[in-house]
Chains A and B, each alone.
Chain A
């Protein structure tokens, strides 16, 4: 089944403890992206990647890192999480410009 898989679905952590949210797609898509969703703010893009080893900042990249060593994986790294990073995170991929975005199921992160 074609899908974008995010893990974990729920995560509670404490300030400053490094964490990684994984994202993997099995559709051979070149383009991948991370968004965070907050009430009243919609989806805001954190980072995106147009291919292996090609990443760029979105609208709210501060406090986040990404890597794209393989086409299928695009992990989101929070080196030192803070409470303002409490949010619902979505990974997404698309095969081409203008193509449909395929979303993961989301990761609800709480930073205490």
Chain B
């Protein structure tokens, strides 16, 4: 079984500042890794994912995450945030050879201040 730890429940930041949301996972097998975003009063949307290949993955709105196997981490970063990035961010992991349905972390609330 796999598990996900999101180390920060809340991250406040000023607009145009850089941000990093941390995610660590544990699994005894190969994994797929995901970041989902939930805007206020909405469902979850896929932000980006790592399946294999390049360890750095990017989203269309400027976020990126790097898979680090030795540190079992998949931290999410953005060099300059906007007010509109205020949302709940969830890291998720699925076993690449098992149920395939992801297990989610507890979420990190990103709050961007003007």
CB within 8 Å of B: which residues of A? 31, 33, 35, 40-45, 48, 50, 56, 58-59, 90, 92, 94, 96-101, 103-106
Contact = CB atoms under 8 A, between A and B. Distances in A.
A56 B106 contact: no
A4 B63 CA distance: 26
Contacts of B6: 42
Interface in B1-44: 6, 9, 32, 34, 36, 43-44
Contact of B43 (A50, A100, A105): A105
Contacts, number: 59
A98 B43 contact: no
Using C-beta atoms within 8 Å of the partner chain, give the interface range for chain B: 20 to 34
Nearest to A49: B101
Residue of B49, B100, B106 contacting most chain A CB atoms (<10 Å) = B100
The 10 A-B residue pairs with the shortest CB-CB distance in the complex, in nearest-first order:
A42-B106, A43-B104, A97-B100, A98-B32, A48-B101, A103-B43, A42-B107, A33-B101, A100-B46, A98-B51
Contacts of B104: 35, 42-45
Contacts of A50: 99-100
